[in-house]
Structures are given as C-alpha cells and as structure tokens.
C-alpha cells in the first residue's frame, strides 16, 4: 500500500473509535475482503455476537467486509502497525509472513477433509498459528476454505496436459506458482479484486479457487469450465495484530479466543451448504462441471515435493502431517 494512503486509512480507523467506545467497552475492528454472503463473513458476525455475549457487553466487534478497509495485504499491514485489530487472509498469503504456512499450499497434501481438520485442530495447526507472531500477526483459528480447483474460459481441463500454455491466475504465493507450474500452466499473480476484469480482457485464461469463491465472485459469468481436481486445501486464517492482542487482559483474550473457536465450528457447517449451493448455481448458469482423474494431477505435482527435500524444516513438517491419522 502507498505509505501516504496507509497513513490516511490508519488515521481514519483510529478516529472512528480508538478501540473503545467508552472506558468500559472495548471495540475491535475486523476488516476482510469477502462478500457478505460468504460463510466466513457469516461466521465472523456469529463471532461478534458470541464475543458480546461472553463478555456481557464489555467487548464488541465491528466487521467490515468486501475490502472496505483494504485488500488482504493492506489489512495485514494495518494489523502490523496496530491501526486495525483483526483480519482474515488465505494461508497462501500468510506464507510471506509465516514461512511454515507454505506447507498448506502444497498440492494433494491431505488425504481428505478429515485429515485436514485433524492437522489444523491439532498440535501442528496451533504451532503454525503462532508462527507469525514475530511479524506482529497472531493466528486465532482456521476457517474452512474447501479445496481449490481450476476454472477456465476457452477450453476444459480434463488432464494436466490441458493446462499447457494457459495463463492461470494465482495468489502472491511462491508455493501457488510452483504448483501451477508443475502441472504445466503459466502462473500469473493478480489481486482478487482485479481478477474478474483480467479474465474478461484475456489477461489470464483462467484461475483456481473453491466453489463458493467461484460463484460469489461471478467469475462463472466469464469462465464456463470448472474442473474439480481439488489440488490444494488452503484454509483461511483469522488473525489479530499482536499490538492489539497484547493490549487485551487475560480475560479478554480468553473471551476472544473462545468466540473465534466457536465461529470456526459454525463456519464449517455453513461451508458444506455453501459448496453444494455454489456448484448447483454455476451449473444453472451454464458452467460445465468436470470431475477429472485426480491421480494424473497428483502424479505430475509430485515434483513440487522434491524441491523441499533440501529444506529440512518444511520437509519434516510434511512428514509430520502425513503421519497424522
């Protein structure tokens, strides 16, 4: 973010409330980039309600969706300087601040959804949530973001070979770029807010994301092929800036953490419904749903793992995740 713009937004946020409406009530501000109909936004509203209930009205939370307070990266920067309290980002974005998070971007890392939840809810997941604290970012919980698959404009992706020559939008993540490259595509980082226009204008030939994001973004209006290869299972991460966290009392931290965990459990239920709805609606809009042989994609993506054999920390983490039963 431009430094002058960052300062302007930061000043505005501080002037809005200064974290307290009065001496007895603490108000936290949470900004994110998702649509209000997204299950993660609904979970955040649920968290706000639970926080107010748990604290007896002593803690409140204001949720600002749809990039009202900035993009994912901009919100992260505001957290780091203490001008915004909380945000949600993809684990892929977090790898720029918490290098161990890149493990979530590895293709076909999890055997199934149950395996993924066991990792995230267990010791490994909790350690990864705390890994960004040296960059002033503390993770509170993971939200289910399903599995990411390819969607394209001009031709269907039935096999990895069909990605050859296609420019595929990815997040600002080295792991995401390596993954697309390993499958034969040409990774092209573009911000989420600019992607619809980029697809329309042919800057990219396709992208990859989960069904609700494909649907709620209206990308299905441009891309008429959706190939459910489910190459990565990238969670969303709920974050609080350590500058804000350290200002909270022990009791306030407990209230907030409990409300966050409750919202994660609530969101997982909503996610199942939203995935089914998204696939149904895009099919009604004329999108062809493809269910390819995942084995072919998995085999070709294995070369990504070879690159981590010389990175003992990540390679050991991969082995620990694979060992989770």
- Angstrom distance (rounded) from CA 95 to CA 85: 20
Q: In this predicted model, what pLDDT tens digit does every residue of 87-140 receive, in sequence order?
A: 999 998 898 888 899 999 999 999 999 999 999 999 999 999 999 999 999 999
Q: Where are the domains of the chain?
A: 3-102+111-144+236-275, 148-233+277-323
Residue 17 has pLDDT above 80, yes or no: no
Return the CATH class of domain 3-102+111-144+236-275: alpha beta
pTM above 0.75, yes or no: yes
Per-residue confidence (pLDDT) for residue 172, from 0 to 100: 85
Looking at the domain that runs over 148-233+277-323, which CATH code has it been given? 3.40.190.170
Fold: same for 3-102+111-144+236-275 and 148-233+277-323: yes
**What would the pLDDT profile of 133-184 be if each residue is shown by its tens digit?**
999 999 999 999 999 999 999 999 999 999 999 999 999 888 999 999 999 9
The H or E element containing residue 268 is helix 250-284
CA distance 174 to 303: 15
Confidence of residue 296 (pLDDT cuts 50, 70, 90): very high
CA distances, 5 to each of 73, 75, 127 (Å): 13, 12, 34
Q: What is the pLDDT of residues 58-92, one digit of tens each?
A: 999 999 999 999 988 899 999 999 999 999 999 98
pLDDT at 5: 54
pLDDT range class, residue 7, cuts 50, 70, 90:
very low
Evaluate whether 233 touches 2 at the Cβ level (below 8 Å).
Answer: no
């Amino acid at each position: 973010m431009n430094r002058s713009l960052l300062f302007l937004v930061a000043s505005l946020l501080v002037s809005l409330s200064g974290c307290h409406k009065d001496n007895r009530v603490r108000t936290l501000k949470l900004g994110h980039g998702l649509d209000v109909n997204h299950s993660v936004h609904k979970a955040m509203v649920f968290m706000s309600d639970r926080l107010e209930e748990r604290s007896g009205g002593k803690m409140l939370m204001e949720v600002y969706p749809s990039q009202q307070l900035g993009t994912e990266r901009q919100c992260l920067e505001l957290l780091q300087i203490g001008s915004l309290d909380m945000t949600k980002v993809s684990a892929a974005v977090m790898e720029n601040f918490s290098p161990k998070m890149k493990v979530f971007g590895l293709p076909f890392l999890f055997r199934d959804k149950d395996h993924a939840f066991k990792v995230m809810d267990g010791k490994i997941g909790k350690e990864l949530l705390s890994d960004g604290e040296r960059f002033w970012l503390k993770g509170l919980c993971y939200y289910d973001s399903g599995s990411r698959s390819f969607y394209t404009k001009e031709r269907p992706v039935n096999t990895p070979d069909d990605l050859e020559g296609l420019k595929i939008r990815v997040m600002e993540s080295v792991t995401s770029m390596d993954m697309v490259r390993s499958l034969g595509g040409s990774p092209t980082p573009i911000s989420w807010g600019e992607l619809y226009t980029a697809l329309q204008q042919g800057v990219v030939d396709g992208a990859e994301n989960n069904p609700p994001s494909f649907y709620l973004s209206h990308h299905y209006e441009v891309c008429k092929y959706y190939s459910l290869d489910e190459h990565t299972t990238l969670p969303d991460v709920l974050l609080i800036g350590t500058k804000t966290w350290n200002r909270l009392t022990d009791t306030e931290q407990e209230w907030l953490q409990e409300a966050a965990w409750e919202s994660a459990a609530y969101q997982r239920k909503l996610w199942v419904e939203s995935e089914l709805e998204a696939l149904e609606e895009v099919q009604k809009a004329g999108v062809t749903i493809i269910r390819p042989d995942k084995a072919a994609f998995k085999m070709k993506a294995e070369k990504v793992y070879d690159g981590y054999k010389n990175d003992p920390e990540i390679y050991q983490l991969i082995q620990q995740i694979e060992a989770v039963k």
